[in-house]
Every structure is written in C-alpha cells, then in structure tokens.
Structure 1
Amino acid sequence: MSTENLPLKEIPGSYGLPFFGPIRDRFDFFYKQGQDEFFRARVKKYNSTVFRVNVRPGPFNAKDSKVVVLLDAVSFPVLFDVSKVEKRDVFTGTFMPSTHFTGGYRVCSYLDPSEPKHAILKSFFLSFLSRAHKSLIPTFRSSVGHMFVDLEEELAVKGQAEGAGFNAVSDKMSFDFLFRLFGDGKSSYETSVGGGGNGNLDKWLLFQLAPLVTLGLKWLPNFLEDFVLHTFPLPFWAVKSGYEKVHDAFRDAAAALLDEAAKTMSPVIISKDEATHNLLFLTGFNAYGGMKVLFPALLKYIGAAGEDLHRRLAAEIRAVVKEEGGKVTLAAVNKMSLTKSVAWEVMRIEPPVAYQFGRAKHDITVASHTAAFVIKRGEMICGYQPFATKDPEIFESPEDFVANRFVGEEGEKLIKYVLWSNGREDEDPTAANKQCPAKDMVVLLARMMVVEFFLKYDTFTVESGTLLLGTSVTVKSLTNATW
C-alpha cells in the first residue's frame, strides 16, 4: 500500500521498565487478559493497529521480547517480504528452541533465504511435495477411512451424552498418513513406532513450544506455571527417546527419498543426516503440527454451522463426485466452490499459524489503513494473524464464520487476504521465500477432510473447547449418508 497520502506517525506503545516490563506484559498475555484481549486492549488504548509491546516469553527465555506489532491486513504482509525482513531464527518468535530437538541442526524453518542451505532444502521439499501429489488423495482417503471406524466405535461405546473425542483419532490418522506419504507407503504401525508415533511427536512439540502456551489449570498458581514454562527452556533429554524412535523409523521408511536427496544436495553443505532431521521437522512440526490444529477447527466451525450448510456441502460434493464417475480426484475437488470456500474461511478465522516474525533488515516504512510508521533496522516485528485476517476494513462480519465468503467473483478477490501460510493465498512458495512449502497440500487436505466427511455422513454435531494448541472437538452424533 502506498504511504504517500498517509500521515507519518511515531509508533505508539511502551516496553516498560527493563526486566519488569516484559514480565508485566507476559502476565497480561497469559493470565490477566488472554491472547486476543491483550492485543485488542492495546489497539483501543493507542488507537492504532501498529504499536510497541513486549511479547512472550520475555526474560530469560528470549533474546529480546521487544517487538513492533502489526495487526491489520495492510501492514501484516511486510513480514512476507524477505527483502525487508530477516527470517533467521525467528520461526517460533523471540526465542528459539535448542537445536538438540532437531539433531543439532538449524532446520530450514529457522533459516533465512539468504543462507545457502535454505534454497537447497526448500527446493528438495518442493520437488518431493510436487511428486507426492499423485499419491496424496488415495493415501489420505485410506487413512480417513480408518479414522471414521475409530470415531464410530468410540461413539458407540460412549454414547451421544459423552461423545467421541475427535482430536485423538485425527492426530493418530494424521501421523500415520504423513508417515506413509513421506515414507515408502508403509504404515507406522508396521514399524517400531507402532501406535505411539503421534504421542511422541506431541511431547516433542510441547517441549519446544512450552514458552508459548499456558496450561490453564486453575489449581496451579500463575507465578509457578510462569516460572516453569516461560522462564527457562524445557530440556530435550525428557523427550529424546521418543523423538529418536520416530526419527529412526522415519529414516528407514524414507530411505529412498533421502538417498535421492543425497544425490542432488552437495554432501559438503548438507549431509544425509541433516536432510533426515529436516524432513522429519517438515513432517512432524510443520505438517503434523498444522493438521493437529486445522482438522479440529474445520469440524468445529462446520459442525456449529448446522444442517443447512451440511446439506449444501453434501449436495455439492456428491454431485461432483457422481459426475466424475464416483471418483474423488484433484479435478473434482477443484470444482467444489463451496467446499473450497469453507476451507479458506476456517483458515481465515482460525489460522493454523497464529504468528509471524521478522527482523527489519533496514529502516522500513510500514502502512496501516490510517497512518505510516518507520520501523528501524534491527527491530523485531510481530504479526498476530487472527487480527490481520479478521480486519473489518477488508471483511464484512469478520468475527463470523461465513461459509460462502470466498464463492464467486467478489469472493475470489478476498482470497489474497488469507495469510495462514506465511504468504498470501494467491501466491506460491518458492526456494527464495519463506512461504510454507506444503501450502497447496495443506489446503487440499482441508478440502479433502470436508469431502470425506460428507461422502460418509449427512450431518453431525460437535462440542468444542480449547487445548494448549488449538481447539478440542467432541463428536456428539454422526448421521450416515443416505445418498
């Protein structure tokens, strides 16, 4: 956005006193206000969607908690411009977990595109993901079929009053699907990992992300939780055996892929071992971690929308599949405009990745809707995505789930404001940018989850709550399809 006609203003906000300021803001964020109200209150206080504040975690678990926050759809995308911001070691924000969690390597997510290894690793990911598209749909359909069996069995045992927990069966399915897709097609259950793969990854994720979460336990004093989770990093040794078990099984399953990578990547720069840890991070953190948040969010919003939306989705999905001779193909899914819109709307209203960070490479001028601001070289920038993707200047009824928001010519113009992938939805990941290499795969999987649900069921009901990472969903009823 041009800044020529906007007034140039000083960035409002304060970091407070050294040491005490970050702790004050951290307690506001986790305990007094909560995530959304923390930002909302400061937008109101400063009458600005751009301001200064301390973000989690603060001392002593961060290099620097001081950031410039961007909370609107105009300013936020500067975080995608790697000519203006550096992405070195900012994947998880103002702190970086120990490289012990990733085999001693700084994996691709923590690399800036200016670093030689970034282009090599990301090109490897993009090449593999492009080839994997051929087997993605049949592999996912098979995995989801097993998930439905587990879900129905649990619901039959527990009944409608208690319901069946969706998250557990979804996580189990997601891990096995990714293991088969990124490996040699062999199920994780046929390896030494057995049924514990996703559980091991859950612990591995938690120990890395502990400084970014709150347990929400009423009986645990805030100061004690804060000291344990947000002051010092949790040790890798506590999850080492589980990670190594998954790593060894994954290394064996993906041997052919890794051997191929070794031929194309210079071993002087990247060893096979480093490539293995990178591929596992892509699988376990980026893909599995994203699906862990995305799939329950889909069920929550679609389930809460009610039977009218369910009938419309079922009618669209079943009509297209019937036209395709009963086959679910990429071409068929691309014809389902409402299904696509629903997936984008969930990603807009509850993006799988809530934050983006970057450090200004030089003095840059950033515009909001109402003013322009200068961010100085070296300053850390933080974008909170759920505010940017619910910008009332862009979206009507931004807090509401609107299933057909992206349908039609006018709806398609809004797609570029869906920002979940560290880039605009109408842009593509390349080796030179930081957009998620699996962006297209994730969008397709979100649509496929909707497709499979309404090929199998006419309608369903859910109850939802919150978890450390994302939404908890309990399926209360499932009505089998009658078509």
Structure 2
Amino acid sequence: MASSSYEPSTTNLPLKPIPGSYGLPIIGVLHDRQDYFYNQGRDKYFASRIEKYNSTVLKLNMPPGGFIAPDPKVIALLDGVSFPILFDNAKVEKRDVFEGTYMPSTEFFGGYRTCAFQDTAEPSHNLLKRFIFYILTAKHHNSLPLFSSNLSEHFIDLDKQLAKNHKANYNCSVEAFSFNFFFKLITDKSPTETKIGNCGPILCQTWLAAQLAPLGTAGLPKMFNCLEDILLRTVPVPACTVKSSYNKLYQGLMEAGTTVLDEAEKMGITREEACHNLAFVLGFNAFGGLSNQFPILVKWVGLGGPGLHKKLADEIRAVVKKKGGVTFAALDEMTLTKSVVYEVMRIEPTVPYQYARAREDLVVSSHDASFKIKKGEMIFGYQPFATKDPKIFENPEEFVAERFIGDGEKLLKHVLWSNGRETDNATPNNKICPAKNLVVLWCRLYLVEFFLRYDTYTFDFKPFGVSPRITIKSLSKSK
C-alpha cells in the first residue's frame, strides 16, 4: 500500500518498446481529438489507453494538430515516477512548448518570445527570470498587507452580491481581485489610475482565449462537435483580433511600471522587452494562474463541508490570537491550513500539462518498466495522473485534508504543480514557477482571511476549462 515512506524503485526494470499508436495520418489525429474533447473526455482518454496498452508510458496524439500543430505525436508520461523527467533540464528542452505542441504567434506578445517560451540553455532566459525574481523579491514584504487589503474588497463584493441576489458569482469577483492585486504589486499603482481602468480581467480573458482556443471547447450542442473541432483546431486565431486588448495591458504597465522597468534597463533588458514580459506574467501567469487557483481552492475546501471548515477556523483563529496577528510566523504554525493547500494542488493541479523535447536519447522509467525516448521526440506529462498515482498516494482520488501533516510531509516531493517538485526551489536556471512559494503563501493567506471572517459557506460549481465556475449560495459570518 502507498504510504508516506514510499520510494519508487527504477533499478533493474525491463527495457520495453513504448506501446501505443498514433493511428493513420490525419485520420488518427481527428479520431483522437474527438475522443479527447467529445467522446471520452480528458481523463478517460488517457485512462482507456493505459488500460488498452497496460502501460503508463505510451504513444498518443495530443491536440490541437491541424495546421496549428502539424506534429501532435507525443510520448505520454502518466504516472508519478516517469513524470519528473520533464523537470530535468539536462535531459529535456523546453523551447516553445509552454502551451503544448504548438507555439502561438509572437504577435500575441509584442513580437517577443517571452521567458515562458524560452529554454534554460538560452542566455536571455536566465536574465529575464532574474528580472521576474527581482520584482517578487522587492515586493515580498508588501505582499501580505496588499493581499489582505484587496481580499477585503473581494469579500465585501461577495457579501453585497449575496445581499442583493441571494447568490454570488465567485469567479468574476476573484478575477477582479487577482488582477488588481498583482497589478498593484508590480507597479504600486491601481489599474484604475491607468488606461486599463476596471477592464483588466476582460482584457486578459480576451487575450488568453485567442491563444488557448485550440485547447478548449465552446460548449456547443453535440451535433456541432465536428464543426467546432474543425473551426477551433484547423487554423489559429490571428493575434490581430486581440491586439487592442493586449496593447491596453501593455500600455498600462508601461505607464505605471516605471520603477521596475528602470531596474530592467539596469540589468540590460530593454524597456520594451521587459514590459512585454511583464504583460505576459501579469496576464498569463498571475491573472490566469490565480483566477483559476482560487476557485479550485474554494471548491475542494467547500466539499470538505462544515466539519473541515470548523477545524480550519479553529486553527486559524487560535494561532492568530497567539501570535497577535496574521504574520509569516503565524502562517507557518497553521499545519492543517498548509496541508489543505498542498492537497488542493495535488488533487487538481491548475496547470495539468507539461511538455518538453528530449535533448538526447534517454531512458525513462515507470513503476514497471523502462523505455527509450529518442532525441527530439516530444514528451508530454499529464499531471493529475502523476499526483494521483495510486502506487504513491493512498486513496488518491479522495481529498484528505491532513495528508501532508507530520510524516505526510515526506510526500511533498510528489506534489508537482509548479513545473517542479514542491521540495525544489525556483532558480533562474530552471523552469520552476518563480512565484512558486508565493502562490502557496497566498493560498494559505486566502484561507486565513476567509475563516477569520466566515465560519462556513455553501456553494454550487460547474466544470469549466481548467477551473470550476463557482456560485456562492451562503456565507456564514463569524461572531
């Protein structure tokens, strides 16, 4: 049985050919796309092929294919042992694979290949990531009070919606909070002080939707599945369709981000390139990441019910009282709160996919066998199968709030949400999310501020893209 002392053995495993099939040219891709998006759905698409070939390492096609990605063939890693080779920068290359088997036009990013699309071997990757680290480090001590201030506005908005409509659109509220918080963290100014105004979330959503359209569905009736598939995945959405939205984000950052752009110039980065990288970090990493992460957090904590809510509220209020406020030291003492955040990131990672190309001929091992991957082949990892690997985690499909308390902390190396192990640190020389530790901190702080204000809540949710759409039905305030 899997336990916190689990250590996979990859020695003396038989070397086997990689099973699976890409199918016939064109037909195989279209067939797999129909299964992935419409007939089976994402998880069943992978699970059915694991069962068919009796292997968690196999060949398959990944969308979109078509003219957008003419070569959709990947080697899929669908367990917790093989997946981490995607983090080994000596063995894999991450050039232009950030969004999958295709690279959007650089016109989406002002003509630049931003840091996210660059491989660690490219000299500009190190420089640009050091610039991002500078921003996060310089703003670190301001992040807690700024986060709390913006969060208070978010909670007030939810309360007002409930008072008026007896329900609250959680996603819209948290999207506004996420954008406003991160814009002010970067620039020390509110977006309303710039030409962005209150339009930040819709500008980001428009820009993101055009890039990511080939990876999603429009939710049309079933009879239109084939038509939708052809429209979304034959040719890319032109960047010119969202140019005005992106330019407004860029110009707002150029106007408000004088201090950080000055620092970029000192580091040897032009203001223009630095600002386009800031726009990507703000729109994709920060807004896209946080506005998906918080609904996932609220969903799983909500499913834990009043029992979990009471445990969290009791721990949070006791520690805050003991420490005299919400401090870094107080947050560190909240063991259940920390464990809950890690468990959310394990059971439903915000970014479910990882891609890379083999730098050289290499061997990757699953629990049961080893496989040769040739130089240049595309490697794909589906993170939810890696972090719910039943040979690593007990009851992997179950949300266990206390999973990472005490001896369970040994399992943190199998939590992989940040493009690396939770026990590894982000550096300019790797592809781990530079805000990795801050994202965990912000999720913990979100729960702290929430349960200092409320006792429990009820909600509904619907799956939507990579995060749920949440409707808050009630918020019970603490007395």
TM-score interval (norm. to shorter): over 0.9
Residue of structure 1 equivalent to 2:309: 310
Matching of residue 158 in structure 1 with residue 165 in structure 2: yes
Distance in 2 separating the partners of 1:392 and 1:11:
22
Q: 1:158 to 1:219 in 2, by over 3 A?
A: farther
Distance in 1 separating the partners of 2:385 and 2:116:
23
Distance in 2 separating the partners of 1:219 and 1:402:
36
Give yes or no for contact 1:180–1:188 (8 Å, CA) kept in 2.
yes
**Could you say what the CA RMSD is over the residues aligned between the two structures, in angstroms?**
1.1
Q: 1:194 to 1:77 in 2, by over 3 A?
A: same
Give yes or no for contact 2:194–2:255 (8 Å, CA) kept in 1.
no
* 1:62-73 alignment, distance < 5 Å: 62-73=69-80
Matching of residue 206 in structure 1 with residue 209 in structure 2: yes
Distance in 2 separating the partners of 1:335 and 1:133:
19
Aligned residue type for 1:90: V
Matching of residue 227 in structure 1 with residue 234 in structure 2: no
Matching of residue 93 in structure 1 with residue 100 in structure 2: yes
Matching of residue 41 in structure 1 with residue 45 in structure 2: no
Distance in 2 separating the partners of 1:199 and 1:480:
31
| 1:278-308 per-position Cα deviation (integer Å, ceiling 9, x unaligned) | 1111121011111121100111111111111
Give yes or no for contact 1:91–1:109 (8 Å, CA) kept in 2.
yes
* 1:80-479 alignment, distance < 5 Å: 80-159=87-166, 163-183=167-187, 185-218=188-221, 221-265=224-268, 270-325=269-324, 327-408=325-406, 410-479=407-476
Distance in 2 separating the partners of 1:239 and 1:42:
37
Give yes or no for contact 2:56–2:78 (8 Å, CA) kept in 1.
yes
1:26 to 30, 33, 39: 33
TM-superposed CA distance for 1:147, in Å, is: 0.5
Distance in 2 separating the partners of 1:285 and 1:197:
12
Distance in 1 separating the partners of 2:11 and 2:261:
50
Aligned residue type for 1:317: I
| 1:327-354 per-position Cα deviation (integer Å, ceiling 9, x unaligned) | 2112211111100111111111110111
Aligned residues: 472
Aligned residue type for 1:375: I
Distance in 1 separating the partners of 2:384 and 2:119:
24
Residue of structure 1 equivalent to 2:3: none
Give yes or no for contact 1:299–1:462 (8 Å, CA) kept in 2.
no
Aligned residue type for 1:137: L
TM-superposed CA distance for 1:219, in Å, is: 6.1
Aligned residue type for 1:309: L
Residue of structure 2 equivalent to 1:59: 66
TM-superposed CA distance for 1:228, in Å, is: 1.5
Distance in 2 separating the partners of 1:330 and 1:279:
27
Look up the SS of the partner of 1:195 in the other structure.
Answer: coil
TM-superposed CA distance for 1:412, in Å, is: 0.3
Please identify, of 461-470 and 27-36, the stretch whose mean Cα deviation from structure 2 is larger.
461-470
| 1:77-127 per-position Cα deviation (integer Å, ceiling 9, x unaligned) | 000001000100000110011111101000000000110100000111112
TM-score if structure 2 supplies the norm length? 0.97
Distance in 2 separating the partners of 1:440 and 1:253:
26
| 1:387-426 per-position Cα deviation (integer Å, ceiling 9, x unaligned) | 0000000111101111111011x21001111100000000
Give yes or no for contact 1:70–1:382 (8 Å, CA) kept in 2.
yes
Distance in 1 separating the partners of 2:36 and 2:354:
17
Structure 2: gaps (5+ residues): 1-7
Aligned residue type for 2:415: V
TM-superposed CA distance for 1:4, in Å, is: 3.2
Distance in 1 separating the partners of 2:70 and 2:415:
30
Runs of 4+, deviation exceeding 4 Å: none
Structure 1: gaps (5+ residues): none
